[in-house]
Copies of this chain bind each other. A is one copy, B any other.
Amino acid sequence: MVAPEISAPARVAAPDEAISLDELRLATRNHGMPLEALRYDLTPAGLHYLLIHYDIPDVDPDAWRLRIGGHVDAPVTLDLDQLRARERVSHTVTLECAGNGRARLLPRPISQPWLDEAVGTARWTGAPLAALLRDAGLRDGAVDVVFTGCDHGTERGVEQDYQRALPVADALGEEVILAYEMNGAPLPPQHGAPVRLIAPGWYGMAQVKWLREITVLDGPFRGFQNAVAYRRKRDPDDPGEPITRIQPRALMIPPGFPDFMTRRRIVDAGEVRLRGRAWSGRAPLRAVELSVDGGATWTPAELEAAGERYAWRAWSASWTARPGDHELCVRAIDELGGQPVGQPWNTQGMANNMVQRVIVTVR
Contact = CB atoms under 8 A, between A and B. Distances in A.
Interface stretch (A16-24, A77-85, A165-173, A210-218): A16-24
A113 B103 CA distance: 17
A46 B190 contact: yes
A189 interface: yes
Interface residues of A, number: 67
A52 interface: yes
Contacts of A39: 58
- Of the candidates A52, A189, A260, A263, the one having the most CB atoms from chain B within 10 angstroms of its own CB is A260
Contacts of A289: none
A305 B210 CA distance: 33
Contacts of A27: 24, 27-28
A261 B34 contact: no
Interface of A is mostly: loop
Contacts of A34: 29, 52, 55-56, 190
Contact of A6 (B113, B188, B264): B264
Interface stretch (A66-74, A150-158, A195-203, A235-243): A150-158
Given A19-B23, A110-B261, A259-B155, A6 B361 contact: yes
A255 to B, nearest CB: 10
Interface string A27-67: 11111101011011000111110101111101000000000
A20 B30 CA distance: 18
A18 B152 CA distance: 30
B47 A154 contact: no
A153 B260 contact: yes
30 contacts: A6-B361, A7-B264, A18-B20, A19-B21, A21-B103, A22-B261, A24-B27, A24-B103, A24-B113, A25-B263, A28-B32, A28-B114, A29-B31, A29-B34, A29-B117, A31-B50, A34-B56, A36-B56, A36-B58, A44-B188, A46-B48, A47-B56, A53-B260, A54-B258, A152-B257, A154-B259, A154-B260, A154-B266, A155-B259, A156-B260
